């Protein structure tokens, strides 16, 4: 995937930061209800997109250049993001869910952009430079959430970075926030 396509994807990905920010400030149960509704709506759109040829063609006219090859016949990254967000808000305390989603949305985007632009040292098909940028950004995100202890911040940021780097076949939109969230919950 070319540099400009990756910037387009990551720009859309970064717009997802509205999920943890919105969830942080919206009272329960409204925050969870909104997220559940968006997730169900996304799955409905995906079912139609994947099974209706006219809808698939219409969709690819507008978004085809931003879709990775494996997403053509599988769920899109945005649907995985909504699913992992929904799991996080039900599985973790609010500050942990917000941090874990921030690690994914901002940390993963920064890792990709830094890795593609200045990355030279390859590890598991990714770059050391991208991973270090991810770690620094994740630590910064964690420090923005006052309800987290310093140990939760560090462990969550390190876990998110390691899971982003490792070649685990599960979509990173699921594995990064869930692994980081569970790590922060275990040490709380």
Domains of the chain, by residue range, sit at 3-187
Confidence (pLDDT) at 96: 98
**Where residue 44 falls among pLDDT bands split at 50, 70, 90?**
very high
**Where residue 1 falls among pLDDT bands split at 50, 70, 90?**
low
Strand-strand pairing, 126-127 and 122-123: antiparallel
Per-residue pLDDT reduced to its tens digit, 113-166: 999 999 999 999 999 999 999 999 999 999 999 999 999 999 999 999 999 999
Helical (H) or strand (E) element with 96: helix 94-102
CB within 8 Å of 33: residues ≥ 6 apart: none
Name the 3-class secondary structure at 6: helix
Burial label for 45, CB within 10 Å (0-12, 13-18, 19+), is middle
What tokens were used for 4? Answer: 């400009």
- The mean-pLDDT minimum among 26-40, 48-62, 74-88, 94-108 falls in 48-62
Confidence (pLDDT) at 43: 97
Q: How many CA atoms lie within 13 A of 104 on its CB side?
A: 32
Q: Are 161 and 68 in contact (CB under 8 A)?
A: no
CB atoms within 10 A of CB 22: 13
Please choose, from the candidates 19, 79, 95, 86, the residue with its C-alpha nearest in 3D space to the C-alpha of residue 46: 79
Q: Which residue has the higher pLDDT, 64 or 185?
A: 185
Return d(Cα 110, Cα 131) in angstroms, integer.
9
Name the 3-class secondary structure at 67: coil
Confidence (pLDDT) at 67: 82
Per-residue pLDDT reduced to its tens digit, 58-100: 888 888 777 888 888 899 999 999 999 999 999 999 999 999 9
Confidence (pLDDT) at 53: 92
Return d(Cα 171, Cα 30) in angstroms, integer.
27
70-76: Cβ within 8 A, 24+ apart? 74/50, 75/46, 75/171, 76/46
């Amino acid at each position: 995937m070319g540099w400009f396509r990756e910037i387009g994807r990551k720009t859309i990905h970064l717009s997802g930061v509205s999920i943890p920010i919105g969830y942080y400030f919206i009272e329960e149960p409204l925050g969870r209800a909104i997220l559940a509704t968006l997730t169900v709506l996304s799955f409905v759109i995906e079912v139609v997109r994947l099974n209706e040829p006219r809808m698939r063609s219409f969709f690819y006219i507008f978004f085809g250049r931003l879709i990775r090859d494996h997403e053509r016949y599988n769920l899109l990254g945005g649907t995985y993001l909504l699913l992992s967000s929904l799991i996080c808000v039900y599985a973790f305390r609010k500050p942990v869910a917000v941090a874990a989603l921030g690690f994914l949305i901002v940390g993963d985007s920064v890792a990709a952009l830094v890795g593609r632009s200045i990355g030279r040292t390859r590890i598991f098909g990714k770059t050391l430079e991208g991973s270090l940028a991810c770690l620094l950004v994740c630590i910064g995100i964690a420090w923005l959430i006052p309800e987290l202890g310093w140990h939760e911040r560090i462990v969550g940021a390190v876990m998110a970075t390691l899971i982003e780097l490792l070649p685990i076949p599960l979509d990173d939109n699921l594995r990064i926030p869930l692994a980081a969230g569970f790590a922060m919950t275990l040490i709380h």
